[in-house]
Structure 1
Amino acid sequence: MALASLLILLTTAGYAVLCAMRPFAPCRKCSGIGVRTRRRTITLCQRCHGTRARLRIGRRLLNDGRTIHAHGTRPHAPDRKATPWQ
Protein backbone atom coordinates (compact mmCIF):
# COMPACT_ATOMS: atom_id res chain seq x y z
CA MET A 1 0.00 0.00 0.00
CA ALA A 2 2.82 2.38 0.86
CA LEU A 3 4.58 1.55 -2.40
CA ALA A 4 1.46 2.37 -4.43
CA SER A 5 1.02 5.67 -2.58
CA LEU A 6 4.67 6.55 -3.16
CA LEU A 7 4.33 5.70 -6.86
CA ILE A 8 1.26 7.92 -7.22
CA LEU A 9 3.03 10.75 -5.37
CA LEU A 10 6.13 10.48 -7.59
CA THR A 11 4.01 10.40 -10.74
CA THR A 12 2.08 13.49 -9.66
CA ALA A 13 5.27 15.33 -8.74
CA GLY A 14 6.86 14.38 -12.06
CA TYR A 15 3.85 15.68 -13.99
CA ALA A 16 3.93 18.93 -11.99
CA VAL A 17 7.60 19.41 -12.88
CA LEU A 18 6.82 18.65 -16.54
CA CYS A 19 4.00 21.21 -16.55
CA ALA A 20 6.28 23.81 -14.98
CA MET A 21 9.16 23.25 -17.40
CA ARG A 22 7.26 22.53 -20.62
CA PRO A 23 3.73 23.99 -20.36
CA PHE A 24 2.87 23.32 -24.01
CA ALA A 25 2.43 19.94 -25.70
CA PRO A 26 1.81 19.05 -29.35
CA CYS A 27 -1.79 19.40 -30.48
CA ARG A 28 -3.60 16.06 -30.42
CA LYS A 29 -5.90 16.77 -33.32
CA CYS A 30 -3.27 17.74 -35.91
CA SER A 31 -0.37 15.81 -34.29
CA GLY A 32 1.62 19.01 -33.94
CA ILE A 33 1.56 19.87 -37.65
CA GLY A 34 -0.81 22.85 -37.46
CA VAL A 35 -2.84 21.99 -40.58
CA ARG A 36 -5.51 19.42 -41.36
CA THR A 37 -6.20 17.79 -44.69
CA ARG A 38 -9.84 17.06 -45.46
CA ARG A 39 -11.18 16.16 -48.89
CA ARG A 40 -8.11 17.46 -50.69
CA THR A 41 -8.21 20.81 -48.90
CA ILE A 42 -5.65 22.00 -46.39
CA THR A 43 -6.99 24.11 -43.54
CA LEU A 44 -5.61 25.35 -40.25
CA CYS A 45 -6.31 23.15 -37.27
CA GLN A 46 -9.39 24.44 -35.46
CA ARG A 47 -8.20 23.29 -32.05
CA CYS A 48 -4.75 24.91 -32.00
CA HIS A 49 -5.38 27.59 -34.70
CA GLY A 50 -2.17 26.62 -36.48
CA THR A 51 0.12 27.18 -33.48
CA ARG A 52 0.85 23.42 -33.31
CA ALA A 53 0.70 23.42 -29.51
CA ARG A 54 -1.81 23.18 -26.69
CA LEU A 55 -1.61 24.06 -23.02
CA ARG A 56 -1.27 21.01 -20.78
CA ILE A 57 -4.15 20.23 -18.40
CA GLY A 58 -1.93 20.52 -15.33
CA ARG A 59 -0.64 23.93 -16.42
CA ARG A 60 -4.19 25.11 -17.09
CA LEU A 61 -5.17 24.07 -13.55
CA LEU A 62 -2.13 25.88 -12.13
CA ASN A 63 -2.97 29.06 -14.06
CA ASP A 64 -6.61 28.93 -12.91
CA GLY A 65 -5.52 28.44 -9.31
CA ARG A 66 -3.20 31.43 -9.50
CA THR A 67 -5.97 33.56 -11.01
CA ILE A 68 -8.45 32.56 -8.31
CA HIS A 69 -5.90 33.29 -5.60
CA ALA A 70 -5.03 36.68 -7.11
CA HIS A 71 -8.68 37.69 -7.32
CA GLY A 72 -9.40 36.47 -3.79
CA THR A 73 -6.62 38.31 -1.98
CA ARG A 74 -6.42 41.96 -1.12
CA PRO A 75 -4.02 44.15 -3.03
CA HIS A 76 -1.03 45.40 -1.08
CA ALA A 77 -1.36 48.86 0.46
CA PRO A 78 0.79 51.43 -1.32
CA ASP A 79 3.95 52.48 0.48
CA ARG A 80 3.49 55.97 1.95
CA LYS A 81 7.16 56.90 1.49
CA ALA A 82 7.09 56.15 -2.22
CA THR A 83 4.80 59.06 -3.19
CA PRO A 84 6.64 61.90 -4.92
CA TRP A 85 4.83 64.75 -3.11
CA GLN A 86 5.89 63.74 0.42
Structure 2
Amino acid sequence: MSIKVLYFASLRETLGYSHETLTLPATIATLGDLRAHLAKRGGAWEALDVGRNVRMAINQEMAGADTAVADRDEIAFFPPVTGG
Protein backbone atom coordinates (compact mmCIF):
# COMPACT_ATOMS: atom_id res chain seq x y z
CA MET A 1 0.00 0.00 0.00
CA SER A 2 1.38 3.39 -0.99
CA ILE A 3 0.21 6.64 0.60
CA LYS A 4 1.16 10.32 0.59
CA VAL A 5 1.73 11.92 3.99
CA LEU A 6 1.59 15.69 4.51
CA TYR A 7 2.99 17.55 7.53
CA PHE A 8 1.75 21.05 8.35
CA ALA A 9 2.75 24.05 10.47
CA SER A 10 5.04 23.33 13.43
CA LEU A 11 5.18 19.62 12.56
CA ARG A 12 6.63 20.47 9.16
CA GLU A 13 9.25 22.66 10.85
CA THR A 14 10.07 20.07 13.52
CA LEU A 15 10.34 17.15 11.10
CA GLY A 16 11.99 19.03 8.26
CA TYR A 17 9.51 17.54 5.77
CA SER A 18 6.38 18.94 4.16
CA HIS A 19 5.42 15.59 2.64
CA GLU A 20 6.61 12.10 1.78
CA THR A 21 5.34 9.06 -0.08
CA LEU A 22 5.44 5.82 1.88
CA THR A 23 4.95 2.18 1.08
CA LEU A 24 3.40 0.77 4.21
CA PRO A 25 3.93 -2.66 5.72
CA ALA A 26 0.84 -4.86 5.98
CA THR A 27 0.71 -4.25 9.74
CA ILE A 28 -0.42 -0.64 9.21
CA ALA A 29 -4.22 -0.64 8.96
CA THR A 30 -5.34 2.57 10.70
CA LEU A 31 -4.26 6.17 11.20
CA GLY A 32 -3.26 5.25 14.76
CA ASP A 33 -1.02 2.48 13.44
CA LEU A 34 0.58 4.90 10.96
CA ARG A 35 1.13 7.56 13.60
CA ALA A 36 2.81 5.06 15.94
CA HIS A 37 4.91 3.71 13.06
CA LEU A 38 6.18 7.20 12.20
CA ALA A 39 6.84 8.13 15.86
CA LYS A 40 9.04 5.02 16.20
CA ARG A 41 11.54 6.66 13.85
CA GLY A 42 12.66 8.47 17.01
CA GLY A 43 14.18 11.91 17.46
CA ALA A 44 12.02 14.68 16.01
CA TRP A 45 9.48 12.07 14.88
CA GLU A 46 8.44 11.62 18.52
CA ALA A 47 6.38 14.78 17.91
CA LEU A 48 3.81 12.33 16.49
CA ASP A 49 3.66 10.20 19.68
CA VAL A 50 0.15 9.27 20.73
CA GLY A 51 0.35 11.49 23.83
CA ARG A 52 0.99 14.58 21.70
CA ASN A 53 -1.81 16.85 20.51
CA VAL A 54 -1.86 16.17 16.76
CA ARG A 55 -4.84 16.30 14.40
CA MET A 56 -5.21 13.90 11.46
CA ALA A 57 -7.06 13.86 8.17
CA ILE A 58 -7.51 11.40 5.32
CA ASN A 59 -8.23 12.78 1.87
CA GLN A 60 -8.93 16.23 3.33
CA GLU A 61 -11.46 15.01 5.93
CA MET A 62 -10.76 14.98 9.66
CA ALA A 63 -10.31 11.45 10.95
CA GLY A 64 -9.64 9.57 14.17
CA ALA A 65 -6.98 7.05 15.09
CA ASP A 66 -9.26 4.11 14.30
CA THR A 67 -9.93 5.25 10.71
CA ALA A 68 -8.75 2.74 8.11
CA VAL A 69 -5.92 3.68 5.74
CA ALA A 70 -6.24 2.59 2.10
CA ASP A 71 -3.92 2.50 -0.89
CA ARG A 72 -3.29 5.94 -2.42
CA ASP A 73 -4.81 7.85 0.53
CA GLU A 74 -3.51 11.30 1.31
CA ILE A 75 -2.85 11.56 5.05
CA ALA A 76 -2.27 14.88 6.82
CA PHE A 77 -0.86 15.50 10.30
CA PHE A 78 -1.05 18.95 11.87
CA PRO A 79 -1.15 20.63 15.27
CA PRO A 80 -4.48 21.98 16.52
CA VAL A 81 -5.25 25.45 15.22
CA THR A 82 -6.18 28.23 17.60
CA GLY A 83 -7.46 31.65 16.82
CA GLY A 84 -8.49 34.72 18.60
TM-score for the superposition, normalised by structure 1: 0.19
Which of the two has greater helix per residue?
1
Which of the two has greater strand per residue?
2
TM-score for the superposition, normalised by structure 2: 0.19
Q: Which has the larger radius of gyration?
A: 1
